[in-house]
Structure 1
Amino acid sequence: MRQEHKYTIKDYYFWKITLILAFASFFVFASTYVVQPLLPLFVQEFDVMVSESTLVLSMTIVGLIMGLIILGFLSDRVGRTFFIKFSLIGSVIPFFLIPLSDSFYLIVLLRFIQGFALAGLPAASLAYLNEEIDRRSVGVATALYISSNAIGGMAGRVVTGYLTDHYSWQTAFYVFAGIGVFISVLVFLFLPKSRFFEASRLPFKKDMEGMVFHLKNPAILVIIGIGVVLQFSFTSIWTYLPFHLESEPFSLSMEAISYTFLAYGLGVIGAPLAGWLAGKLNLKKVRIAGIIVLSMGAFITFSQSLIVIVIGLCVLCLGFFTAHSLTATSVTEHATHHKGSASSLYLVAYYVGVTLGSSAVGPIWNTAGWNGVVLLAGLLPLVYLVFVHVMQSRRSERVV
């Protein structure tokens, strides 16, 4: 009976909820990746190594992973809107504090705290959408929410590069603090209260049992592995790209480097295109095609031509968002129970890939430079595909 009262795409409140959460998601992803174009600058300004500079991104993701697990469990018990609001406030405050710090490792600590706070939105918002919006309309709301992720990640990088080149990185942080305050006000004033939230009364032990249940499922393990590998390769390219393009023979400014992140715009195209192709063809085949396209894009960036590198980055983004969107879709298909914890596991795997792709690739960059990073990023997804194919052939079970 309550299902009939959930908002549909024709309702004013459907658009109110969807647009407010899209704005919030935009800010969260912009905040997460705002430091990526600044890594070469931190090396110079704080006299740290390249691998150390990547900690401002990887430790943010470590905080995010911890937050997804802890805040995800708590949102099932306390409520959705509280954690959505907490996420925004907690992520805005570090933007005011970080520019005041002259210690690199204090900045890393503040970014870790910011990452934990940022997790509140993804931990609660998708559940909120599914609870408040009719199942026939929730797909549209979710697609807009995910598209804003890609736009936010792109804008965070591009705007930061531009503002830093023309003013300072501190100015960029204050600008994002202001944006965060504005969006927080919108959320506090206009985000409707939960009407269909029902607090979970299960002990945390049951949630953990759900996680363990999925880790015993070979199909879920393959999907989790894909999540790690995809994000590892994708992040490693984008993390070390600024270092590559600021050096000879390119010698690009930070503003010019930041414009390469506009390739993320293909993510807005890639995700819905992947869904359409999967419906027409076969999800498994389209996902494999996306992974191969990602590797092709990585290999194209071997070039010494800036134009060709940009083309490679566009191909990389198209392949990544195609494969990622379909892999995320596959999680709940293969999870027979505890579908929520299965989605959480995939998100954790996704962000583990971000952490490894940023800081763990440092030794490769130090010893083999850009070519080493590209070779690893391009080969790893292909090697994983072959490995899964061989293992599944032995078990006569095809998942990928």
Structure 2
Amino acid sequence: MEAKSKENLVQTKPNLMLSALLIMLLVGSVYISQLIFQEISQSYHIDILAARNVFSLSCFFYAISFFIYGPLSDKVSTKLLVLVGSIGTVCCLFLSVIVDSFTLYLVTMSLIGFFAAAVPAALFAYTAKNTPNHKLPQAMGMMISASIVGMIFSRSIVAMLTDLRSWQVAFIIYAGLITAVCLFVPYGIKRSIIQPSTNSVRGTYLAAIKLLLDKTVVIFLLVGFLLFFVYLGLSSLLTFYLKSSPFYLSATTLGWLNFAGLSAVIGTIITGKLSQIIKERSLLIICLLAVCISVVTIGYSSAIYVIGFGIFALFLFVFGIQPLVIAMLNKIVPINSRGAISSLYLLSCLAGGSIGTYLLGIVYQNMTWNGVIAICVLLSTLNLILALVGIQLIKNNHK
């Protein structure tokens, strides 16, 4: 009876909805610059390709910080981490609209990535600890979906507001949305029913590093790295490609086109269901093959509706892969290392995304769009081969 009352204490729909809303807005704050590189470059009188560093650095600091905050979520109050992350992000958003140096602007946007990571890191851990096992897949699915919707929502709404007014006004409005939701944090996030870990933070980091000695783990971390290298790198450069000849799309049109990425939510649901009847390994290979086809569709099509379909498919399969790889990694490592492996996988994905955005920008500058697509197809094919090697290693270990 006591256990049931504890469950009810933290596991209510309003609590889950608040967590999902916070994750949506804070994850989204890392992606707000992706569709407005041109407007940022005009504000600071810099080359448009230099503006891509805004997203690359924000995403890189977000990835690194997530792994920093992960162990802390076992030691520090969830409410404190959420408030620190949210208030820090809001302050940086306000600061970003008043700095007159592009270098300071880069620093400010990097700090947004640093502070924003505290919120999903804390709330993913909080949800996992305070949800009954039979409700856990549904609850975690909501958190992952909130992250995906945050990426889509933030890019689209900021692009539209930028066309309507300016990116500075868009950032202030976005900061206002985070502030409004934060008012409910003291009432919506209760004390965890799980006591803080007695292990040292240093011990948690060492255990995570030791996982990198397993070559099967490293292979699947590389799969995540290359997957996001292609996905985020290509997504960012689409802004340049579709705003130039022969398309000349506005930021608003790009914002609407970006909503095709909501297919990512469908992807996580579909592969989660299919994994009950089809082997995860088989599904992974099918999805990686589909990613290759999606890249080709986006890269070599001249019709906007076909490119839109390619974007829909790319998001669908990239995020459909996520629960498959995470499940496979969790089965490889000991049960007490599952939190660490999730942090490492997320770090690999987001580091791949930020590095991909930067390096593919250089390729775009020197080899144009066709060079970018050729490299993305090559890396997607390499990823397929890596996954096959990793699956074979798993089979050999189970013999």
Could you say whether these structures have the same fold, taking a TM-score greater than 0.5 normalized by the shorter chain as the test?
yes
Q: Match for 2:289: what amino acid? A: I
Match of 2:103 among 96, 102, 105: 105
Aligned to 1:315: 313
Q: Is this contact kept in 2: 1:83–1:120, CA < 8 A?
A: yes
Q: Match for 2:338: what amino acid? A: K
Q: Distance in 1 between matches of 2:333 and 2:225?
A: 18
Tell me how far 1:390 sits from its aligned partner.
5.2
Aligned to 2:271: 274
Q: Is this contact kept in 1: 2:85–2:115, CA < 8 A?
A: yes
Aligned to 1:134: 132
Correspondence list, 1:305-344, <5 A: 305-336=303-334, 337-344=336-343
Alignment CA distance shift 1:72-1:193 (3 Å): same
Q: Match for 1:372: what amino acid? A: G
Alignment CA distance shift 1:194-1:125 (3 Å): same
Cα deviation digits, residues 110-158 of structure 1 (max 9, x gap): 1111111111112211211122221111221111111111111111111
Aligned to 2:155: 157
Correspondence list, 1:215-364, <5 A: 215-301=212-298, 302-336=300-334, 337-364=336-363
Q: Match for 1:101: what amino acid? A: V
Q: Distance in 2 between matches of 1:154 and 1:396?
A: 37
Cα deviation digits, residues 335-388 of structure 1 (max 9, x gap): 114211111111111111111121121211111122222222222121122245
Cα deviation digits, residues 176-218 of structure 1 (max 9, x gap): 011011111122332222232x222323332232122211112
Q: Distance in 1 between matches of 2:391 and 2:351?
A: 24
Q: Does 1:7 align with 2:4?
A: no
Correspondence list, 1:18-97, <5 A: 18-97=16-95
Tell me how far 1:109 sits from its aligned partner.
0.5
Match of 1:212 among 195, 198, 209: 209
Q: Match for 1:133: what amino acid? A: T
Tell me how far 1:396 sits from its aligned partner.
6.5
Q: Match for 2:353: what amino acid? A: V
Q: Distance in 2 between matches of 1:394 and 1:222?
A: 10
Q: Percent identity?
A: 24
**TM-score normalised by L of structure 1:** 0.93
Alignment CA distance shift 1:141-1:248 (3 Å): same
Q: Match for 1:254: what amino acid? A: A
Q: Distance in 2 between matches of 1:280 and 1:256?
A: 39
Q: RMSD of the alignment, in Å?
A: 2.1
Q: Is this contact kept in 1: 2:10–2:130, CA < 8 A?
A: no
Aligned to 1:188: 186
Alignment CA distance shift 1:179-1:394 (3 Å): closer
Alignment CA distance shift 1:20-1:372 (3 Å): same
Q: Match for 1:376: what amino acid? A: I
Matched residue SS, 1:36? coil
Q: Is this contact kept in 1: 2:216–2:393, CA < 8 A?
A: no
Cα deviation digits, residues 219-262 of structure 1 (max 9, x gap): 21122111101111100111000100111111111111121211
Tell me how far 1:394 sits from its aligned partner.
8.4
Cα deviation digits, residues 29-81 of structure 1 (max 9, x gap): 22111110011222233232344211211111222123222222222222222
Aligned to 2:116: 118
Q: Distance in 2 between matches of 1:215 and 1:323?
A: 21
Tell me how far 1:310 sits from its aligned partner.
1.0
Alignment CA distance shift 1:287-1:394 (3 Å): closer
For structure 1, the 5+ residue unaligned runs are none
For structure 2, the 5+ residue unaligned runs are none
**TM-score normalised by L of structure 2:** 0.93
Q: Distance in 1 between matches of 2:69 and 2:273?
A: 33
Q: Is this contact kept in 1: 2:71–2:205, CA < 8 A?
A: no
Q: Distance in 2 between matches of 1:201 and 1:7?
A: 22
Deviates more, 1:346-355 or 1:72-81: 72-81
Tell me how far 1:12 sits from its aligned partner.
8.5
Q: Distance in 1 between matches of 2:17 and 2:392?
A: 45
Q: Match for 1:136: what amino acid? A: H
Q: Match for 2:160: what amino acid? A: Y
Matched residue SS, 1:192? coil
Cα deviation digits, residues 236-289 of structure 1 (max 9, x gap): 111000100111111111111121211111011110101111111111111111
Q: Match for 2:396: what amino acid? A: E
Q: Is this contact kept in 1: 2:223–2:386, CA < 8 A?
A: no
